[in-house]
Amino acid sequence: MSIDDNWDDYYKGFFEMQLSDTELAALYSYPEAINYNLKVNEYVLVYNWQHELVDKLVYTGEGYRPLSYKDFDSEQLGCIRPLSNDPQ
């Protein structure tokens, strides 16, 4: 993707970041400084330099919050929860 391309043409609903250890530290220390022009509520998959998934976040417009899954409980279906926490 070049600088001249329209970012909206590449919007997938999630963004993958591959960061060095220094960049990971900056992400957690100063989350408002690193946004890559993300949209509010866009999911972010954070990988280290070895391409190992290290975190799953949601961009809030002011920073990031952890991606969490909640169990759902109903009388007819019982407790429903995700099979995997891995969004891939």
Q: Is the pLDDT at 82 greater than 50, yes or no?
A: yes
Confidence band, pLDDT 50/70/90 cuts, at residue 9: low
- Core vs surface per residue 30-48: b (16+ CB within 10 A) or e: ebeebbeebeeebbbbbeb
- Residue 44 to residue 24: CA distance in whole angstroms: 13
Q: Across residues 63-72, what is the average pLDDT? A: 84
pLDDT of residue 57: 93
The answer to whether 48 and 24 have CB atoms below 8 angstroms apart is yes
The pLDDT, as a whole number, for residue 79 is 85
Report whether pLDDT(44) > 70: yes
Fold of 11-80: 2.30.130
The structural domains of the chain, with segments of one domain joined by +, span: 11-80
Confidence of residue 47 (pLDDT cuts 50, 70, 90): very high
pLDDT at 75: 87
Closest of 72, 75, 77, 65 to residue 31, by C-alpha: 65
- The H or E element that residue 56 is part of is strand 53-59
